[in-house]
Amino acid sequence: MKIDIQEGGVDLLPQYAKIPISFEVKTIYQVEMIDHGLGGIRFYEEIVHPPYPKDYDSYGEGGPEQWPKQFDIANWGILLAWMGETCVGGSAIAYNTAGVCMLEGSRDLAVLWDIRVQPDYRRCGVGTALFQHSADWARRRGCRRLKVETQNINVPACRFYVCQGCELGIFHRYGYAGHPQVEHEIMLVWYLPL
């Protein structure tokens, strides 16, 4: 079935917020530091016993409805993916926004702030359509790179970003220190040249 992408802004957030972002963590990427990092690093996948649920909206800054309270999202793109009459996914792209440290103060960088697909429509091309449209959205604003953050506990997302042409630019073992719910996770930051 055809996937249609709708572009908008804050007006789309009520529909966007209905799309779940939760998933089950079944495997994680462990990181082995070779010679304390001087000899490089090695990622290897490890099975999690027992698997556990992860819901990004349940902690931290909260879900999409909280974004306008935290940031001026006038320069953000909110995308919805539709298959017929059903909203099957969405993505949010941040660009040229004061206070968003992931943007590094750069006007030629965009951040894929969030991407989510309805569980029944995962692995059906919805994420790819949203990612590609998000990259096009950033290109139209003169961006040279698209940046995405995920964690070592989200193996499917890591694989997805690699399939989209992203390269791992940063891994931060202590990126979530001081946040008890997630401090065991490793921050992974991906970049796509546009």
Task: Name all domains of the chain by residue range, CATH numbers in brackets.
Answer: 4-193 (3.40.630.30)
- Each residue of 77-129: pLDDT tens digit? 999 999 999 999 999 999 999 999 999 999 999 999 999 999 999 999 999 99
Contact yes or no for 72/98 (Cβ under 8 A): yes
Partners of residue 5 on adjacent β-strands: 81
Give the model's confidence band at 54: pLDDT under 50 very low, under 70 low, under 90 confident, else very high.
very high
Q: What is the pLDDT of residue 60?
A: 64
Distances (CA, A) of 34 to 44, 110, 130, 184: 13, 33, 37, 20
Q: What is the pLDDT of residue 59?
A: 73
**Paired tokens of 36:** 């304390």
Give the model's confidence band at 62: pLDDT under 50 very low, under 70 low, under 90 confident, else very high.
confident
Rounded to an integer, the average pLDDT of 9-26 is 96
Three-state SS annotation for 173-184: CCCCCCCCCCCC
- Each residue of 143-194: pLDDT tens digit? 999 999 999 999 999 999 999 999 999 999 999 999 888 999 999 999 999 9
d(CA 33, CA 39): 8
